[in-house]
Structure 1
């Protein structure tokens, strides 16, 4: 069966190296905390807020070993007034036998404010 793993992070500035590195770190933590290998990943959607334009965050995934053939698509998040700025969101769809409640969703930097309920669950597993 497939399950979704959510992740989100923010960057301080719209700089290519920062976007790529923060995305890489986020996905690495998502993979580690959920014991996922690239072969388990069906596909990944990445959305960014309209103030991120310097790079495709998917480049961060390409730096990970074994991710060459994982389908990844980047898109722009809807522009909701007063929403979190400079935010990168990841939806990773994986093949797994785990229950939905056992998936660890990862929120880094200012993105922890998006889903404090899930961020707290993740912290309690440490």
Structure 2
């Protein structure tokens, strides 16, 4: 916004890439979506994080983490793995990952979370 480049250390953890950046209305915050390297190849992981940074870069807050982060008009949606459900059937036990969508306003505060649903690739 000011045509200056400044290094900002907003997370103490390593990450593989910055997937998206957003500026809140009136430049109140800068939001950064980062992707951590996935650790497991067999199960889904909450490997994306949403961070909120003050415009001067002095204050950073981790909003939440999830499987996917979407920006919609007026909110962020973080799709988050919530639990592993085990279902007994005639062939044995089936495992099903459950997800929940969490909605955040443009200040980074949670608005609400939808009901759980089955994770499908």
Task: Give the structure, 1 or 2, with the largest relative contact order (CA under 8 Å, sep 6 or more).
Answer: 1
Give your verdict on TM over 0.5: no
Query: Based on CA coordinates, which of the two structures has the bigger radius of gyration?
Result: 2
What is the TM-score normalised by the length of structure 1?
Answer: 0.26
Q: Greater helix percent: which structure?
A: 1
What is the TM-score normalised by the length of structure 2?
Answer: 0.26
